[in-house]
Structures are given as structure tokens and as C-alpha cells.
Amino acid sequence: MCGIIGIYNHPEASKLAYLGLFAQQHRGQESAGIVSNSGDGFLQHHEMGMVADIFDQSVLARLKGNQAIGHVRYSTHGGSSIKNCQPLSVTYSRGSVAVAHNGNIVNGGELRKKFEEEGSIFQTSTDTEIIVHQLAKEKPANFVDRLKNTLPRLLGSFSLVFLTKTRMIAARDPWGFRPLAIGKKDETYVVASETCAFDLIGATYIRDVKPGEIVIFNEKGMESIFFSPEQPKKHCVFEYVYFARPDSLIYGNEVYDIRKRYGQMLAREAGIEADVVVPVPDSGLPAAIGYAQESGIPFEMGLIRNHYVGRTFIEPEQSIRSFGVRVKLNPSHKTLKGKRVILIDDSLVRGTTSQKIIKMVREAGAKEVHLRISSPPTSWPCFYGIDTPSKRELISSSKSIEEIRDYIQADSLAYLSHESLFSFDPERGPKEFCSACFTGEYAVDRESILNHIARDELTV
Amino acid sequence: MCGIIGIYNHPEASKLAYLGLFAQQHRGQESAGIVSNSGDGFLQHHEMGMVADIFDQSVLARLKGNQAIGHVRYSTHGGSSIKNCQPLSVTYSRGSVAVAHNGNIVNGGELRKKFEEEGSIFQTSTDTEIIVHQLAKEKPANFVDRLKNTLPRLLGSFSLVFLTKTRMIAARDPWGFRPLAIGKKDETYVVASETCAFDLIGATYIRDVKPGEIVIFNEKGMESIFFSPEQPKKHCVFEYVYFARPDSLIYGNEVYDIRKRYGQMLAREAGIEADVVVPVPDSGLPAAIGYAQESGIPFEMGLIRNHYVGRTFIEPEQSIRSFGVRVKLNPSHKTLKGKRVILIDDSLVRGTTSQKIIKMVREAGAKEVHLRISSPPTSWPCFYGIDTPSKRELISSSKSIEEIRDYIQADSLAYLSHESLFSFDPERGPKEFCSACFTGEYAVDRESILNHIARDELTV
Amino acid sequence: MCGIIGIYNHPEASKLAYLGLFAQQHRGQESAGIVSNSGDGFLQHHEMGMVADIFDQSVLARLKGNQAIGHVRYSTHGGSSIKNCQPLSVTYSRGSVAVAHNGNIVNGGELRKKFEEEGSIFQTSTDTEIIVHQLAKEKPANFVDRLKNTLPRLLGSFSLVFLTKTRMIAARDPWGFRPLAIGKKDETYVVASETCAFDLIGATYIRDVKPGEIVIFNEKGMESIFFSPEQPKKHCVFEYVYFARPDSLIYGNEVYDIRKRYGQMLAREAGIEADVVVPVPDSGLPAAIGYAQESGIPFEMGLIRNHYVGRTFIEPEQSIRSFGVRVKLNPSHKTLKGKRVILIDDSLVRGTTSQKIIKMVREAGAKEVHLRISSPPTSWPCFYGIDTPSKRELISSSKSIEEIRDYIQADSLAYLSHESLFSFDPERGPKEFCSACFTGEYAVDRESILNHIARDELTV
Amino acid sequence: MCGIIGIYNHPEASKLAYLGLFAQQHRGQESAGIVSNSGDGFLQHHEMGMVADIFDQSVLARLKGNQAIGHVRYSTHGGSSIKNCQPLSVTYSRGSVAVAHNGNIVNGGELRKKFEEEGSIFQTSTDTEIIVHQLAKEKPANFVDRLKNTLPRLLGSFSLVFLTKTRMIAARDPWGFRPLAIGKKDETYVVASETCAFDLIGATYIRDVKPGEIVIFNEKGMESIFFSPEQPKKHCVFEYVYFARPDSLIYGNEVYDIRKRYGQMLAREAGIEADVVVPVPDSGLPAAIGYAQESGIPFEMGLIRNHYVGRTFIEPEQSIRSFGVRVKLNPSHKTLKGKRVILIDDSLVRGTTSQKIIKMVREAGAKEVHLRISSPPTSWPCFYGIDTPSKRELISSSKSIEEIRDYIQADSLAYLSHESLFSFDPERGPKEFCSACFTGEYAVDRESILNHIARDELTV
């Protein structure tokens, strides 16, 4: 997962981009970068690490120009290297172009192989480089025309923001997998993965870039064209479940509100008698509030989160006991002691963390621990941009709910129903959202995904 | 404010000290230090900055020894310098001693003047150096005897942990102003400002160091003596209001539980009709839960906190609008729009932050904003270790509640009553706690404090 | 200018590469990088800055493998960016390849344009990327065959070392512009720009990679093939004049010895009566020794160099006088006072530094200052890998010797004759060396160079 | 050894101090610090490391004021800690004082013990703290009077520069062990250990602070008083032999000139037939020039120094051969091959480095290697400020010249005679200089030094 930002027409564009990245830091902590358009060429700065550590006054002062795009990158399994930092900035026959990308091109491997066979070289392990290779091979003289030719060749998810010599251009895949919003602040246009970036900059949300749309920002304002006929929408529902900040509007809905609703539905579907409802902070918080409101059972912050986690932290040697989740979470004992506790978490992936938390809650004196998950069982890996483990690492893919309950040592375990996942719009939700991580119903490039999963299973 | 840690008898003492400081990072972010006893002399490392940035494997590996003490220091107005970092380690006629101190010696200025007149030099602007000067002037051969002579001379607050050649020694002022707890983990003794440090290390809370007590940790275990006859206790109630982590036991009570109770009392005392109860995160959270439970008005996370704040952050130039509190907090609009909102915060000091938050909540669409403060008006500066502004900067010292309400532009404003502050123990609370910041009733060295305040008022 | 290193078959290959780069630090201080072959893929680390600051134990420990190549990069006018750091590592249809390059491809612009027209993208502004693009477009299955096809297309200078999945491969342009030497240490092969790298590693110099040669290092040892028929050699004579370390063998000759000879020839050609011969340290040192020996005039270190220059240094504001060359050089007054001084420098480029040094020497009390340059006037820019200013910035390109003397305020000025430049081998020297920077006789791609110079002149 | 600087009356005093420290970096690379007098209190910055890395524009901008003092500290055996960084800045009954010290108080241990017995504490392991303790105990109201009382109590070497609220004060021990010079630049006074600091700042050397003198810089200019009756001078001759920069004036003589003279005397006293004279760079350079001039044997740079040494450098693991001196020095082979070589070094301490260099010179093909040392055998440790090893580590203290020759594997070995050490002033030299490191004739506090040496010998 990643976060992107684009600023068009502001004398301190790189500073706004910096703020936009800071607000979206949760979308990627591995590296960050900004490319600005000085009018006289692109200027760039990339580094491994966190936004506030990478950019300082002197770096931002050097990134002159009225236009800038930026990117925060998530830590992925391999390939963690300065070379993979975005935005990617290249020159080709038409001059220079820079791009920031959030998403995953499912047919990227195929395209990469094709380009390599044609004699292309790759300097990164990102999908983004594939997009740029295709762009450079297109013949039309106009950038937008080349883009219109390029994007339909890509299967998968892509929310993109480009910088060219004179324009900023945003685009989104035909299914609308990943979010991409447009904001405005006086005469400045802003494009961001999440609207929380607008709030920090002081911009106002206008609308989303639409699936299949290319939006061009130039001196005349904002122009829109479509590179793809209408497709069934496939918005990622996991942005609601876990990824986005609760104060962001995603696909036009406020995330906090939807998460709270998930908690309410969970209380209806999987209610149980108990003394307290306790969130696993911070992501389980809105659902726990919803659950508590619906059930009437008191909401309590029974687990306290250490604010300073996230910074590099040295774990002591083996002679000191394994910390488990203690570095991050610690119980407020009195709230838990002797209580029947309903723990609310947003998802359950491998089960190891839940196991440790439940142990900690029991050690704090809880009489019963009932785990409620505000999403359905995650049984399938994501191929559309969320960095999930492989199928066999997903505990739900091989174990029944009862087996999982036993593994994590909960008194009871229940998940949100698949229906309730779309309770915010029961009619259009199931049609317009991708929930493949829960169902395995991969809507785009299904065959190659299933082949990939099958191969992966064999390599166990 | 500061946090201290001491480890006695563990082969990786400095690593446990590091963990103990990490857990107490909220007590001081300006600098941190650890001194270990290698058996062959003291080893030390101090730096400006955050615990996780200062210590890495190689630094901790160098800090060998079975005993170690550590300190995190709060950013204070002046005198922010590497020289003031603690623990302070000195040599004197009896060898070496190191000390970490949480507190403030009210008669420190006097003592300092006296020592200077006797020809002493001071290399720091800390009170701690005064304590060590007195220790060095004492005649008895035994360290503990010197300490018994030294401590009664000090008026004010001090929770101390010392390292000598062979022992670790903890001590607490006769009034018990600041917390200091003893924990144990197998054969290892741990001393810490807050018990959350024990939780991370895996130690168990035994008891507090008592007011007026000196606790000696040596090869025989733990010994206790008293350097002062019994005094009326004066525990700092502000640790409950704001300072301590909610998951810590302070003076034997869980902070979360007390804060929630404050919210409940506030609901009874200053209830008002509204649609939602919203905490100012994170410190207002437990009280907001209590208020919501007591009032039956739904609790909502209407303000979302950015996790990454705390890191250095560059504010953009004047051409970009002032950020106010946006960098730290952002509203979840749907929760607030059209609602009558009760905002819960732990305290109101200068009023400027509350003013900005209320403005932000209104801009998010709130119909009414009622601010409820889960402590009484803070009208008096603290001289016992909490870093508060001077009297004239405290808005409550010069404005009536109605005037403050008008200044912060709330629809209504109410504070917790002074009585309810001790609702957790109505009988002993008012007697055994210091609430001078609310009442001006300074129990220790009252006269010199009032003189100081008077002088300060005149310099306006 | 740059320096390269390659290590084949050593369990600590990256550490040897590090040492080889450290020894060649003078060839480039802007950035450094190492790519190792872990057997399971390439590992890499690049950073802006100096070798000893970039690599530490933990970085080198991560760069596992028996083979490694490295690169130090010179600070160039524009395009100073992490993206341009070498070695360049890419994937293409045949897998992965990494390359370190010292040199300059004169027809690089043309090739780049051609590739861009064919749809290629470029992520750096280096020539090296062009080489890799061509390699990737070649059809033969074998890497060496692709290389044999690629290299003849390149006009200009290139000393290269490649890492492939199983081999290390070195190559040098048909004219032998830049040096490239092969060394051996037990079963380990080493390739380096300069033999001083062998000395530090403990390897023995075997021979140079020959012009037009490809040398393959594999499990059978060292194999040689030629990609080009024999060409007239064009070794860069400026390596002797200034660039290489005096203790290196370059093209088989020791640099110190040649520089001393230049000083001797200069004394014969341009002797003058004086009291002392003083080098401009450190590069003028060997020639000054030669001059003094030949002339019988005493050699003196009349200018002392500050060892710590090279580190970043903050110049104070305008209120403090301009430092000129003082930060780097300071006179030993007694040596200069009242003396007729012959100053020896290796070359004279813009004239500004010489002017400042002569002023400083006069201020130290010298009666006369005679500047002798141990190379001919530098009137032409280099297009074969040395980073010289444009023609119009070269003082000799527009001013007569007398005009230059007047500009720098010397009592007399003389240069080494062009003949003496080859005095180390009067017969083959003039034929086998490139001295285009002195003569304008560009041997390779002459026309495009002259066009480039002409265009450049017009833009004044 | 250390270097000090003081600036009085310049609007950018801290920047000039920075330049003065940069010029004197060779006197101490462990740490550096500057204290400025803002008019409104002292401002300070200290760090471990090199001057150019510690101070940047923002740090210097913070160190406001018209007066500043600075210090570079040499790496010593133990006690390498931020706490020992100078200048030392303290408060005492009379306000604030800061001091930078170059030297060693021989009776420091005694004084320290006395102070500790009187109840003083010590926070550093420096002698400097002792001086300040004594100052603080003095009764007179005037700082200079207190200083006049304090300094006569100190036995040993001290060149000092103090900053008080309104003045800068320099002082030097009655024997004049360590250098201390006064310079002027317009209305600004500068005090420095070496005059090379004046050259960089653009100040002019006026005179030395005299032995036993206190020089006060105030708004009226420069005042002088003496705290001690005239004593036999004991200037450290080792500053000439090795420590100072050759371009500095020390005790009014230029170091380069004296070192060259040492080489000339050595040629006369210990001439031998040979082909080349080769210095061990850089400290052996002037003497080698002198030797070559006197003997008529050609001077050659047969050993080349790597400029980049001094930076932190990671030595590779045991699997790679020991580097010995290779990282620092490398031979120019042709100069040495088949030659009878006279190597000139400034001193021979433990013998291990000479052994390695001679081995390297032989491996480069030298037929004979004759080592000539431009100072007498160093047989006694220094107690007056030079950081030498203990007596038993000094090879000359236990081995005859022939035994040393055998140990280092030279064909011959000779030292400069003790007489020639003073050849620059044969009459006053032997009387006015300390050469205890060569003779054991400790002029100040002889008894306690001999006791110390005796104790030390016993602990072998």
C-alpha cells in the first residue's frame, strides 16, 4: 500500500506535498519522495524512512516550483531499496515525466516480460516502471493520448498522479480499486489518496477521480476524459475495514462512520453477554464504539497503546522474555479484572497477534474473552494493492472458526457477516466493491491470480 | 516532569533500563540517559532526543553491568542542554555516585546560593546537582547515613534512584509528591516512576517507595529505613488528571479508572443535553468514556489524532495558513455535523488550544459545543515538579469561567469540582493529596513560593 | 572522473571492494556504491558522500557474496543525485546485470536519442545507462557475445566492470583512454582503476585490461577476448599530470616517477634564477622535487596544506573577509620571506586559484614569484572522461601566456612543453596518448566534439 | 593535547572561534566545543567528533555574542565522554565563567583529593574542573584577583582562556609549557594555541601570552598583570618536534624552519651514504628536506599518504590480512626499488609503526633502509600536557639503540642529539625549554612525577 499526493499551481507546491504526505504517513512508512517541477526541469528528493525525518526546510526550499507530486511507500517483503522509492522520474523521447502510483498491476509480470523481450531494462522492482515503459513506447505526440493508449493495457489497480513539463495529470483504473480524491484550495488543485491530506492543507474535497478517468490540471483548470468504457466498479472495501484514516472520506463515505456501523452490525449478528467492550487500539476503536452503543455494554479502553511505537525499537536479547505485543499495548488492569470482555479488532490475519493479546487480557484478570472481528474471515490474498500474506499464511484459509478460536484461546470468536460489510449501501455495495480478500472472487485478471495462488500453494 | 528507572541485579541491566525508559517516554522527550555500574566503574550515555533514537544495540552493549539507572527529561523553558541530561554522575571523596531525579527542590535556589557562597561550582541548572553537593559535604562514612542527613534538608519533591559502587538506593520526599514504585522480576529489583515500566519489563509491582523512605537494594535484597518522621502526605493529583499513563498504577490506584470516574462525576455535576460526547485525544479519552456512561449520551471519536506527531515537523511559511491544531487533530465530520457536542478535555491551561479545537469542531458542522474539563480550574503554578506556565499565563488565574467560555467561544464551559477530584477516596484524598495548582494551598515551603509568585507578577 | 573496483572470488568481496574504493577516494567524492552477488541475487548500497562515511560494518555485512563491484563518483556540475550513483544494477530479459563505469561516451547523446525514439526510458543522466540499454537489445544468448556487439557501438572512453549471475567481466574501450588494471591475491581476482587499490587489499598487479579487450573472470580463472581490432592507443595523459595517485601504476608506469620527470624537464626548459622551489601541495609535489633536483635550487614546503579540508566546511558571512585558499593552504613565512620563489603547480585551469596563491605568497614576503606549470596550457575541454570546464572558461584558450602571467600577477610564468609531456617515452608517447586537452586533437568522434564546442561558444 | 581559541569583540565571535578551531584541528580530534557570551548569558555547543562535522550554520547562528572561546580535545586513553568536552562552563557565587584549557596539572590529583575531602564533587575527569573549583573558593571580589590567587597553586602546564560576564582573560603557567599567542584583527583580539589560527581568521600575531602572565581583554583593550614572579622557562620542545603545525609560530619561532634545521643537524651528526632521503609523511617532511639539503642526497616522496585517513575507517575481519600502515601510507615503488633509503621520522615511540613502515619499504624493493629520527630517544613520559604512553611502553626506556634497530629491522638507526634539539638557540634553548621526555629531567613537581612513574612500573 502507498499514498500519493499532487499539487498544481501553488508557489510552495513541495511544502504542500510534504504536508499531504505527512497526513498520509499511515499509508507507507518505508520511504518517501517528492518531485517538483521548477519550470526549468524536475527536482527530486527521496529517502528511506519517515516523512518528518526526510524533509527539512533546506530540502523543501530546494524543491522549487508551482507543481509537485509525492509518494509514501509501504514496507514490503523484499526489494526494500532506495531504487524503489517513488515518485519515479524518467526522461524519454518526449522529455521528462514523473509519476507516483498507488496500486498493483496484476498483469505486470507479463508486461515486464514482454518489455524485457523487446530489449527493455528495469531498474526497480516496481509496477510503476512498467507503466512508464508503455507510455514511452506509445506513438501519439500528446501525452494524454499516450496515456489513453497505455492505461487500458493495465489489469489491476492504479491510482496515479503524473507531472509533465506543463501539467499535472491524475488517473484511476477502470474499476476504481484504490481511492483518489480531488481537492481545491483557492486556485490550487490537490490530488490525494485520502481526504485527510486536504484537511491538513486547508483544501476542500471536490470529488473523486472517477474509475477510468484521466483528469488534466493545466492553466485552464481541470479537464476530464475517459480512457475506458464504463466497467463494474470494484472499490477496495478493505480501505474501510482497516487501511484508511477514520477521518478520511473514501469513495465519498466517511471511514469512521462505516467502521462504527460495522461494530453495530457485529453486535446484532454476534452479540454475547459481557461486562465490557474493549477495542484493540487504534484500528478497532470505531467498531468497538459501535458495538458498545448497539449492545448497551460499556465501552472501555482496556488496552492502552504506547504512542512512541513506530520508531525503531531494539528488542533485547533472549535472556529477557519475549515482548509479544507489550511494546505496543498494555492493559489497564482494573477495567479487565474479573470481567467478561468483548475484544473488538478490525481483522484477523495470521492469528498470532490475537493470541498474544488474548493471553495478555487474561493475565490482567479477565474472566472471559470474546473476540469479535469487524470484518469477515480474510481467506484470500489481495492482488490489487494491499500487502497481505500468502494464502497459506492466512489462518482463515485453512482453519474453521472453531479451530481459530481454539488457536487464539478465545472463549468465543465471531466475524462480521459478508452482507454487513456492505450495510452502508446494501444495494450497490456488493456490486461496486471488491471483497476478494474475503471471498476469493477476483474480478480482474482472475485466471492469472488463481494460477499464482495455485503455484504458491505448491511451494509450501 | 521526568521519569526515572533503576535496575538492580540483572545481567542486562542497561537493556531493562532502556525498556523502562521507553515505557515512560511520555514523562520526558527532551533527553535521555543511562548510567550502568560495570563493577569496574560507571559507564554512561546521554543524548538529546527520544529514547528509541538515542540507544541502539552497540550503545547498550557498551553499558555493561548488573545495575543501571536511567532518566528521561522533559523539555523545559530554558536550559535545554546536554549538560542538564541525567542521570548525573560525579566523583567525590567517597568515590562515585550517580543519581536520577524526578521532582523539584523548592528551596533549591537557597541551597545553591549557600553552596556557591561556600565556594562550590555548578555545571548544570538542575536541582539534582544540589542534592549531590549536600551528599558530598556530609561526614558519615556510610552512604546511607549521608543520605539520611542530606534529604531532610530538601524542601519540595524528589523521587530519586542512586547508584553507588555496590548498591542501588531509592528515596522519596516525606510528602510523597511524585510517584516511585518498586517491582520485582525473579531476582531482579526494579524501581520506576510508573508501573507501566514494570509491565514492559515483565516485573511485578510490589509496593511504592514510601514518603520519607530510603530503600536500599543490595546482595541481601531490599532494606528500608526512614529519613523523616511521618508527615502529612501530599501526593500530586495532577498525575491522575493528566500526566501519568492510564495503564499505570500511581500511588496504588489505576489511573484509567480514576480518570473515568472524573468523567462520571463531571456528568453528574455539569451535565447538559447533547448528542455526542467527544474526547480531546488522547488524554481526554477515559473521562469522556466515564461522562458518556454516566450521561447515557453516545461516546464518539469525533477528533482523530495523527500518530506521527511528536516527530519534528516543519511548519510551512506564512503563505500557507496557520495550522493550529490540524497537524495533531482532525475531525471526523459526520460524527460532528449538526450535532450538539460535549467536548471532554483533561485540563485547560492557557485556553489557546481549546479555542482552536472548538473552532475546528464548529467548522466541521457542530451545532453546539460544550466544553467539559475533567479537573478544576488550574489557577496556580506548580512548584513541586510539574512544568506549568507562570500564574499570569494561566487563564483561570485572571478570568472567570464565563470570561473563559467567551474567550474559547464555547456554548458552555464547566469544570470538575474540587471535591470530585478526590471522589476516589473522599475521606483521605483531600488530606493526602497536593492540589495546589487548583487551590494555591502550597503545603511545603509556602512562604518562599508565594514570594516567588508575587515577584513574578510584578515583572509583567 | 570516477573510480571502479571489482572483486571476484573472495568470501568478503564487499569488504575488499570497500577498501578498493577507499584507496581510490580521490577519483570521486560525490557518492559511492557497492553491488555484491549473494548467489541468490544482487545486494546493493549507494549513498551520497565519502566512502568511509557510507559503509559501516552492518552495511558491509549485509552485502554478502563472493563477488562485488564498486564505484566512486566525482561531483559534476548538474545532475548530482542519488539516482546517478553507480554501480547501476538492472534486470532485463537475461536476468540481472550490474555495472560500474569510468569514462564518457561521446556519442552517448546520439545513442540516447535513438533509444528514446525506440521507446526507451532513462532514469539517470549517466552514460552508463546507455550501455546497458544496448546490452539489453542485443540478441545473442551469451552475455559476452552481447557485450561484444554492444561495445563497438560506443565512441569515447569506457573502463567497465560488470557483475552477472555467475561472472565478473571487465572491458576497456579500444583506445584505452582510462586506466583499468588487473590484480590477484591468492585465488581472488581484482580489477581497479588504479593499482593503489591493489596495494591496500594486498593484491599484486598482473597487467592492464588491454584496449579493446573483454576479460572474463569465472570459476576457471581469467579469459580474454577482443571486441575490437587494434586501434591507435589514446591513453589519457592527464592521469599522469594530475588525476591519479602518485603511488599508482597507470598504463604500467609509476605516476610519481613521471611527475618528477615533468619537473626536471620544466627546470631544463624554463629554468630561472631563484632561492627556493615550492610546490602547490599536494599535486605539485613530485614535479617540484624534480625541478629542485634538476635546477639545484632548494626544495621547500613553503605552503602547508590543512589535512582536514575535504570535509564540509561552513564559510562565514560576508562580514568576515573572503578566505580565498586559506582554508586549504597556509604559507610557512620564513621559507618565503625575502625569497625569489619558484612555485610549481600541475596545471592552470581558470587562473583564479593561482592568482590567490601568488597573492598569499607575496603577502608572506616573497620578493619574486615565478609560476611553473608541469603541463602545457590546458586550452581544450576533455570529452573522454575528465571533468573540465568549457573552452571559454579555460584561461589558456583565450589568453596568451603573457596575459595569463599578468592576470595571476606572477613575475614569470612558464609551462611544460608538449614534447616533454611524453619524455617518459618520446617515441611511442605522442602516438599512444591522448593530449587533446592541450592540443585540441580529438582522436575519437572528432566532428561531433568540434560541433559541441562551437555550439557552446555561441551560447556565451 | 588540546587546542584553544578565544575571540574578543567581534559580532560573529563564534564563527571566528569555529575557524580558529578548524585551523587547530590537529591538536585534538575527539571532541570540540564553543561557548559564546550573548550578553544575556552564555550559550554553548559541545559534541564528540571533528570541528567541521559538529558546527553548522544553524549551530553557529545560535551561539550569538561578541565574545567566544573554543576548544578541541585530543582522544585520551580513558574518559572519552561528552562530559569531558570543553570549554567548561559553570556558575558559582560570582556568576558564570567558562574556560578552555590546554595543559596538565601535575598536582591535580592532590588538589582534587583535597577538594573532595572538603566536600566538593567532580563531574568530569579533567584538570580544568580543579582550576574552577579553586577559583570558586577564592574570596576576592574581582575575578582577576581570584585568578591571581588560584594560578600559583597549580603545578604543571596550563594555557587558559576564560570568558566572564564582560571580559575575556588569557593566562599561561609560569614556565610557559604550552604555547599561547595573541593576535589582532582590526578591533578584535584573538587568543590561540597556534598562530595558524590567526592566519585563517586574518588576524596578525602580536606576541605570546608570557609565562606567569594574565592578559585581560576588555573595552579598554588589553591589560597585563603577572600572577607569579619570574621562573626559569620550560617551553615544551615537543611542539617543535612533532605537535604543532609547521606553518605556526610557536614561542615566536616558525616550526617548519626548526624542523628543517633538525634534519640538517641529523645529516651532520648521523650521515650515511645512500641514494634517497624519504620522509615519513607528513610530520617527517621538513626534517627530510633539511637532511637532503645538508647531505646532498636526493629528497623523494617515497611514501604517499592517503588524504582521506582520519575519517572513521572500518577494518575488515581477520580473514583479510592485517593492514598495518597501508591504509595511511603506500610506497611509490620506483623511488625505492634497488635504492639505499634514508627514512626520516620525527620520533620513535613504541617502535611498532616504524617496524611496519620499514617492512613496507623493503617489500617495495629498497636495498637498505636507514632510519633517522629528528629528535632524541623518547624515554620518559610527559606529564606536562602531551599524551605519551607510560614509561614501559616507550621502547627507548628499556632498549638500546642497537636493540631498537634490531627490533624495527633497520639497517641503521640514529637519533638527533640532545644538543641539536636546541640548535635554533644553543645558548638559551637548553635552559628555557622542557625536554623531560628525552632526559627525565622534570622541572616542575619532580618528586610526585617520579613517584608516579615508580608506581606505574610496579604495576606491570
Which of D330, D337, D344, D361 is the best mutation test for C, with the most CBs of C within 10 A?
D330
Residues of D in contact with B95 (CB under 8 A): none
Helix (H, G, I), strand (E, B) or coil at C144: helix
C52 closest CB neighbour out of D304, D308, D317: D308
Distance, in Å, from the CA atom of A202 to the CA atom of B322, rounded to the nearest integer, reads 9
- pLDDT score at B321: 45
Assembly ipTM: 0.92
Contact at CB, A82 and C81, closer than 8 angstroms: no
Query: What residues have CB less than 8 Å from C17, skipping those under 6 apart?
Result: C5, C6, C7, C34, C36, C68, C69, C70
Please say whether the beta carbons of A160 and A187 come within 8 A.
Answer: no
Over residues D144-183, the pLDDT tens digits come to: 999 999 999 999 999 999 999 999 999 999 999 999 999 9
Q: Give the DSSP H/E element, type plus range, for residue C126.
A: none
CB burial of D372-402 (b: ≥16 within 10 Å; e: otherwise) equals bbbbbbbbbbbbbbbebeebeebbbbebeee
CB contact under 8 A, C117 and A88: no
The DSSP bridge pattern shows strands C340-345 and C276-279 to be parallel
Residues of C in contact with D323 (CB under 8 A): 200
User: Is residue B433 over pLDDT 70?
Assistant: yes
Torsion, Cα D289 D295 D301 D303, to 10 degrees, reads: -110
**CB B262 within 8 Å of CB B375:** yes
b/e sequence B11-36, b meaning 16+ C-beta within 10 Å: ebbbbbbbbbbbbbbbbbbbbbbbbb
Of B171, B150, B237, whose CA–CA distance to B421 is shortest?
Answer: B237
Local structure of residue B309 (DSSP, 8 states): B
Q: What is the pLDDT of residues C433-454, one digit of tens each?
A: 999 999 999 999 999 999 989 8
Cα–Cα distance measured from residue B46 to residue B166, given in angstroms and rounded to the nearest whole number? 22
Inspect the interface and report whether the beta carbons of C122 and A90 lie closer than 8 Å.
Answer: yes
In order, the DSSP letters of C437-453 are HHH----SSHHHHHHHH
**Continuous segment of H or E residues that includes residue C100:** strand C95-105
Q: Say what the pLDDT of residue B311 is.
A: 47
Pairwise CA distance, residues C300 & C385, whole Å: 34
One-letter identity of residue A199: D
Is the pLDDT at D318 greater than 60? The verdict is no
DSSP state of C63: S
Is some CB atom of chain D closer than 8 A to the CB atom of C58?
no
What is the C-alpha to C-alpha distance for residues D361 and D62, in angstroms, rounded to an integer? 50
Residues of D in Cβ contact (< 8 Å) with B44: 81, 83
Best A247, A256, A305 member to test B by mutation, with max B CBs in 10 Å, is A247
Is residue B114 less than 8 Å (CB to CB) from chain D? no
Q: How many CB atoms lie within 10 A of CB C38?
A: 16
Length, in residues, of chain A: 460
Distance from CA of C99 to the nearest CA of A (A): 12
pLDDT digits (tens, 9 = 90+) for D359-384: 999 999 999 999 999 999 999 999 99
d(CA D157, CA D147): 15
Q: CB–CB of C60 and D314 under 8 A?
A: yes
Q: Cβ neighbours of residue C70 under 8 Å, at least 6 residues apart? A: C4, C5, C6, C17, C18, C20, C21, C32, C33, C34, C35, C87, C100
b/e per residue C391-419 (b: at least 16 CB within 10 A): beebbbbebeeeebbeebebbbbbbbbee
A positions 163-202 inside 8 Å of B (CB): 196, 199-202
So what's the pLDDT on residue B10? 96
CA atoms C304, C305, C307, C311: torsion sign: positive
Long-range contacts (CB closer than 8 Å, 24 or more residues apart) made by C350-357 = C350/C389, C350/C393, C350/C394, C350/C395, C351/C395, C351/C404, C351/C407, C351/C408, C353/C325, C354/C408, C354/C410, C355/C407, C355/C408, C355/C409, C356/C324, C356/C325, C357/C280, C357/C303, C357/C325, C357/C329
> What confidence tens digit (pLDDT) does each residue in C10-54 have?
999 999 999 999 999 999 988 999 999 999 999 999 988 889 889
Instruction: State yes or no: is C2 an active-site residue.
Output: yes
Residue C443: C-alpha distances to residues A15, C187, C230, C386 (Å): 49, 39, 15, 15
Give C295-346 as a DSSP string: H-PPB---EEE-TTBTB--PPP-TTSPP-TTTTTEEE-HHHHTT-EEEEEES
Smallest Cβ–Cβ distance between B121 and the set D83, D119, D136 belongs to D136
Q: How far apart are CA D432 and CA D233, in angstroms?
A: 5
**pLDDT, one tens digit for every residue, chain C (460 residues):** 799 999 999 999 999 999 999 999 999 988 999 999 999 999 999 988 889 889 988 899 999 999 999 999 986 544 567 888 999 999 999 999 999 999 999 999 999 999 999 999 999 989 999 999 999 999 999 999 999 999 999 999 999 999 999 999 999 999 999 999 999 999 999 999 999 999 999 999 999 999 999 999 999 999 999 999 989 999 999 999 999 999 999 999 999 999 999 999 999 999 999 999 999 998 899 999 999 999 999 999 999 998 887 644 555 444 444 456 788 899 999 999 999 999 999 999 999 999 999 999 999 999 999 999 999 999 999 999 988 888 999 999 999 999 999 999 999 999 999 999 999 999 999 999 999 999 999 999 999 999 989 888 776 5
Predicted local distance difference test score (pLDDT) of residue C56: 87
How many Å lie between the alpha carbon of A140 and the closest alpha carbon of chain C?
12
Kindly report the nearest CA distance between residue A31 and chain B, in angstroms.
14
Q: What is the DSSP string of D392-408?
A: GGSHHHHS-HHHHHHHH
Q: And the C-alpha cell for D108? A: 591535580
**Which chains touch C (3+ CB pairs under 8 A)?**
A, D
- Asked if C119's CB is within 8 angstroms of A137's CB, the reply is yes
Q: Is A257 left (phi over 0), alpha (psi -120 to 50) or beta?
A: alpha
What's the CA gap between C24 and C178, in Å, rounded? 14
Of A307-311, B388-392, C314-318, D3-7, the range with the lowest mean pLDDT is C314-318
Report chain D residues whose CB lies below 8 A from the CB of B132.
121
Cβ contact D83–B92 (<8 Å):
no
pLDDT tens per residue, chain A (460 residues)?
Answer: 799 999 999 999 999 999 999 999 999 988 999 999 999 999 999 988 899 889 988 899 999 999 999 999 986 544 567 888 999 999 999 999 999 999 999 999 999 999 999 999 999 989 999 999 999 999 999 999 999 999 999 999 999 999 999 999 999 999 999 999 999 999 999 999 999 999 999 999 999 999 999 999 999 999 999 999 989 999 999 999 999 999 999 999 999 999 999 999 999 999 999 999 999 998 899 999 999 999 999 999 999 998 887 644 555 444 444 456 788 899 999 999 999 999 999 999 999 999 999 999 999 999 999 999 999 999 999 999 988 888 999 999 999 999 999 999 999 999 999 999 999 999 999 999 999 999 999 999 999 999 989 888 776 5
Max Cα-Cα span within chain C: 72
**Cβ proximity of C192 and C24 under 8 Å:** yes
pLDDT score of B459: 63
How confident is the model over B447-457, as a mean pLDDT? 88
